């Protein structure tokens, strides 16, 4: 089973004043993806500067398109993508 891991790091030094509202929007998008079945796992980073998202049954290009829909995409410092093969 193929997976794509996206590691999102946001620029916590330059958060906008409306960050709490953006966070709610972000949570809604992630919940929708989980409900739609293609977001396999979602982890917050302990440093509170981003998240790790693991998508299933999508190719890397589609994941990149989806990540651009996230409200936090505009706050990104970096995004790394890794195509993975799940062994078990």
Residue spans of the domains in the chain: they are 2-85
Q: How many CB atoms lie within 10 A of CB 7?
A: 16
**CATH of range 2-85; options 3.40.50.2000, 3.40.50.720, 3.30.70.1060, 3.40.190.150:** 3.30.70.1060
Q: What is the DSSP string of 7-20?
A: EEEE-GGG--TTHH
Q: What is the pLDDT of residues 25-82, one digit of tens each?
A: 999 999 999 999 999 999 999 998 999 999 999 999 999 999 999 999 999 999 999 9
pTM as predicted: 0.92
């Amino acid at each position: 089973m193929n997976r794509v891991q996206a590691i999102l790091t946001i620029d916590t030094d330059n958060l906008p004043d409306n960050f709490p509202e953006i966070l709610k929007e972000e949570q809604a998008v992630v919940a929708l993806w989980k409900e739609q079945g293609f977001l396999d796992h979602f982890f917050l980073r302990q440093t509170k500067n981003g998240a790790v998202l693991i998508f299933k049954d999508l190719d890397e290009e589609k994941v990149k398109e989806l990540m651009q829909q996230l409200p936090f995409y505009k706050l990104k410092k970096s995004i790394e993508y890794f195509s993975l093969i799940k062994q078990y």
